[in-house]
Amino acid sequence: MNDQERVQRTDDLVVEIMDIPRVDGHRGNEEDAAVTPAQRPRFSPRQRRWQLVVTSGVVIVAIVLILASSVSARNLVLRVFVPPTPVVTPPLPSDINLFYIVGTPNWGNAFIDGRVVLHLPAVGVDQPLQLSRGQHELQWIAPPFLSQQCTISIPLPAASDGTGTCSLHEAVSLPTGTSAWVIRFNESLLTLPDPTRVSLIEAAQAVLDTQQSTDVVQPGEYYGYPTRNAAYSVAQQPLRARLRFQLQTSQTGDKECMLDGRNPGESCILVGQDCRIFCANPTLSILSPAPPAGAWNVLAVIAPVWDYTTLDNHVIAQNQLDGTGGVGYDASFLPLSITWTGTSWHVKAYYDNQSLSLYGDPSCDPAQDTVQSTPALRTTEVDTSALQWTYLPGSVHAMGCLVTASPIVIPVGTPASVPIPTAYCLYRFGLLVAINNLAHRLWPWLPVADTYEQHVAMRLLGKST
């Protein structure tokens, strides 16, 4: 190949670079000239935006279809993307959210959801409290007692006594025709911290100890100390008998409590509370004089105990339960009025038989128990009439209790000058003895009083007249 042919072939390989017209018909600038056709984007910006919208829509539809196959996932999607439909709450019935709060002792404060209730409405007297819909926390704080709290939800389920931990077992009718629940916070020995509980028991026992008394068992008198051959003893020499009242705070055992000489059928429980650990007194109106303002008024449980010694202090028996054979009579209720000074307890006991006829007198309670628990005494009739029993305590508890029984119905036409047949007995040192001939005829199995016991009975009878 000569030089001329080489030049011609070279000329055939020359490529002319020309500007490519733009889509809008204009020629490109120098920057456009620097970009080759292979480097240019396939789609315009507008086309790319539409492509993004279509692709996103396809992805969302695919996700929804997948999630729709699961109930839980479908509910999640609905909660996130579909706003809930507003629910119209109907107004609460007026007798469902009305409440009274009752707490003891009365120096305590009630709180609802952390806010103190400045004035607690009196049950059946003031308008009750009205609670809004939702759950509420109720609290009772009465130092030095431990705080108590419970919860309640409004509205209450129709088929139960409520939700939460508040006890709803008591309701009162209102003059408006509606009802209100009563929520009670009752303190007891169990809601006290250990040191203050011990100090209260000691303070109450100290008050009971002021009522202890002594009398002399004369030679020949009966007293309730069992021997090998009998359920009682006969004094061979003068004995000093000391009667004291022991606070009963143990919840173990089957001891029963007497109310007006009768067992209420619920052991020592009144109005759902165990009075051995102090229960709220439901009969404050009979206390005389009235308890001091701001006092904690409770019923305690006590039992009489005897100690017998010779006059030179030789012990015959100690801690002898009152009752024939040492079995011991059932315990009784005693009203107490208690106040807290911030550092110590003050306790007052109510023994007055005249103002406390419901609870009797601690020196006559065992006599009532003996009569009520002995069918041969309780069912006796005189002149076809049932007997009316009365109990007269002595000037000191250890002296005893005079028991009388007379017909309830006097035959028509009986002259006023004819004395009513009356049987006299004396309950003394833990057993019942017959004083007069009628008592001995009606109940020949009772021990017969000696001269000194008859003298004691006459003293008690003179005290009553």
pLDDT digits (tens, 9 = 90+) for 248-278: 998 876 667 776 655 555 578 887 889 999 9
For the full predicted model, state whether its pTM sits above 0.75.
no
- Structure-token match 């904690």, residue found: 296
Question: Exposed/middle/buried for 86, CB within 10 Å: 0-12, 13-18, 19+?
Answer: exposed
The angle formed by the CA atoms of residues 340, 342 and 345, to the nearest 5 degrees, is 35
> For residues 322 and 319, what is the distance between their CA atoms, to the nearest angstrom?
9
Paired with 259 in beta bridges are: 262
Residue 16's pLDDT is 47
Digitized pLDDT (tens) for each residue of the chain, 465 residues in all:
555 554 444 444 444 444 444 444 444 444 444 445 555 555 566 666 666 655 666 555 555 555 445 444 444 433 433 444 444 445 545 447 899 999 989 899 999 999 999 999 999 889 999 999 899 999 999 999 999 999 998 887 654 444 578 888 888 888 888 889 999 999 999 999 999 999 999 999 999 999 999 999 999 998 988 888 888 889 999 999 999 999 999 887 666 777 665 555 557 888 788 999 999 887 776 666 677 778 999 999 998 899 999 999 999 999 888 875 444 567 888 889 999 999 999 999 887 644 455 666 778 888 888 888 889 998 999 888 999 999 988 888 999 999 999 999 887 777 777 788 999 999 999 999 999 999 999 999 999 999 999 999 999 988 655
> For residues 67 and 73, what is the distance between their CA atoms, to the nearest angstrom?
5
Sheet holding 385-393, edge to edge: 381-382, 385-393, 401-407, 423-428, 431-434
Q: Please report, as a single letter, which amino acid is at residue 308.
A: Y
Between the two ends of the chain, the Cα-to-Cα distance in Å is 170
> For residues 188 and 301, what is the distance between their CA atoms, to the nearest angstrom?
13
Give yes or no for a contact between 221 and 215, defined as CB atoms under 8 angstroms apart: no
What's the Cα-to-Cα distance from 343 to each of 26, 59, 148, 187, 339, rounded to whole Å? 104, 76, 21, 18, 11
> For residues 68 and 50, what is the distance between their CA atoms, to the nearest angstrom?
27
Question: Which tens digits make up the pLDDT trace of 139-165?
Answer: 999 999 999 999 998 887 654 444 578
